[in-house]
Amino acid sequence: MKASLTVCVCLTTFLWAGPKPKTRTEALIFTNVNVVSVRDGTIARGMTVVIKRGRISGVAKVGFVGQGHDIQIVNADGKYMVPGLWDMHVHSAFVSPAWDEKVIYPLYIANGITGVRDMGGDPDVLENRRQRIESGDLLGPRLILAGPFLAGGKSDRQTIAVNTPEDARQAVDAVKKQGLDFVKILSNVPRDSYFAIADESAKQNVPFVGHVPYSVSVREAVTAGQKSIEHLTGVLLACSSREDELRTQELTALAKRDYLAYEKLGPQIISTYDQARARALFLQLAQSHTWQVPTLVWTEANSRIDDPDLESDPRLKYVPASVRAQWDPAKLRANTSPEELAALKTEAARDVELVKAMHSAGVRFMAGSDGPDPYVFPGFSLHDELDWLVKSGSTPLQALQSATLNPALFLGRIDKYGLVEPEHVADLVLLDANPLDDIRNAGKIFGVVANGKYYSRKDLDIMLQRVEKLASQE
């Protein structure tokens, strides 16, 4: 999400309370299910999966599944079960509570996304939602919160200005005190503030993630301990044989607000790509376990604003009119110079090649969409991102891991998330076809278990119809 996007988050959260989740049964049991292990891609066929109190209590090849009053049994009939998907880069408190809770969250669940990492938004609104989702008052994905944006400039409800190292330390302290999971950095953070964030984050034991600022190199970010890098920020520049010199030119252009001069540096960065430097950087990223969230679907959406097919995307029916107005391609084009659009197209193509090279060096990836930026559809676009990851060198299993196992590893919660194994939370997706044959099968959803409650295809269709109706009424 671009930092310049100013959005109003209304305070009427409770007036707009979103849909309620189902009530939980004593036990939820799936029979005849093919369980996909995202550890190694093996499939255990004809299994029974037992869920109690929101946790997986057993995965076994048994006939007897227990008895009692309040047991829901679903014959999965050979469907494929995978862990609930995570979208590791979203903004879910951005437009208004009506849109966020009634539209965005159901779209995630309907697409099998049972967890999201929110990468910036009003922390009070988000913390309130996190609690309501966990307690069963609100239907939505599990929320991991990066809290407010830390950025240069001015503070607002969702941004903490970090113009000095002192600001930076106080911002990390505030994030920690609020119980948020990460510190999120934007591109315009000054260099000394960045290193103060890194230092304070280490002291306070709260990881920092986000963009690599213009003023910092990716190598420095890795050494400083940045845990995830979004949108491949700074990676291509760090592969240039003229990295330092081009960074200085970038910073000069940005300081003068000379965006044309800034864009013109793009081709130079690409033409000075140095294989050996790139290889060394990627090995460093791999060895340091610095996670990449390339959001290829977002970069591609930004580069496609001249595509005449945009306005006929069938998923637009889920986008409220007020948001569609912001997505008007003519408006987006008016805000983008031809040079900028050309640069975005080059960047989108280059990013795919970059991810291929990084992937072959063993760099770790997580799937993230950056919805709901224009033409990044909450829920749906994560499936496009998985497809992009396959086009960028991942196997279907690796792409699936980027939305299941890898987020769990990244969060340090492989004991709880990302696997269909006992003791793990019952966030699951049932698929009509094997996602390891074709990653697009991850979008063929038969049913979803969110926080231990089962939503059949029929339930999900009703959810989608409701969103469509709301979007059309708005």
Q: Which of 200, 370, 385, 387 binds Zn ion (CB under 5 A)?
A: 370
Q: Write down the least CB distance from residue 377 to Zn ion, Å.
A: 15
The β-bridge partners of 81 are 35, 430
Task: Write down the residue that tokens 């047991």 correspond to.
Answer: 71
Residue type, 451: N
Contacts with Zn ion by CB under 5 A: the residue count is 3
Q: Cβ closer to Zn ion: 119 or 420?
A: 119
Tokens of 265: 């540096």
Q: Cβ closer to Zn ion: 1 or 363?
A: 1
Q: Write down the least CB distance from residue 209 to Zn ion, Å.
A: 11
Q: Write down the least CB distance from residue 250 to Zn ion, Å.
A: 20
1 part of the interface to Zn ion, by CB under 5 A:
yes
The β-bridge partners of 208 are 183
Whether 296 and 351 have beta carbons less than 8 Å apart is answered as yes
Tokens of 364: 């770790």
Whether 291 and 366 have beta carbons less than 8 Å apart is answered as yes
Burial group, residue 462, by CB count within 10 angstroms (0-12, 13-18, 19+)? middle
105-124: which residues touch Zn ion (CB under 5 A)?
Answer: 119
Q: Cβ closer to Zn ion: 1 or 460?
A: 1
Pairing of strands 113-118, 142-145: parallel
256-315: which residues touch Zn ion (CB under 5 A)?
Answer: none
Instruction: From 1-9, 236-244, 285-293, 350-358, give the range in contact with Zn ion by CB under 5 A.
Output: 1-9
Whether 63 and 105 have beta carbons less than 8 Å apart is answered as no
**What x-and-dash track marks residues 196-235 binding Zn ion by CB under 5 A?**
----------------------------------------
Q: Which residue is nearest to Zn ion (CB)?
A: 1
Instruction: From 183-191, 221-229, 331-339, 369-377, give the range in contact with Zn ion by CB under 5 A.
Output: 369-377
**What x-and-dash track marks residues 378-407 binding Zn ion by CB under 5 A?**
------------------------------
351 part of the interface to Zn ion, by CB under 5 A:
no
95 part of the interface to Zn ion, by CB under 5 A:
no
Which of 116, 120, 91, 100 shows the shortest CA–CA distance to 182?
A: 120
Which of 239, 245, 373, 361 shows the shortest CA–CA distance to 298?
A: 373
Q: Cβ closer to Zn ion: 2 or 333?
A: 2
Q: Cβ closer to Zn ion: 83 or 372?
A: 372
Angle at 335 between CA 332 and CA 340, to 5 degrees: 100
Q: Write down the least CB distance from residue 45 to Zn ion, Å.
A: 39
How far apart, in whole angstroms, are the C-alpha atoms of residue 46 and residue 76? 9
Whether 396 and 437 have beta carbons less than 8 Å apart is answered as yes
For Zn ion, the binding residues (CB under 5 A) are 1, 119, 370
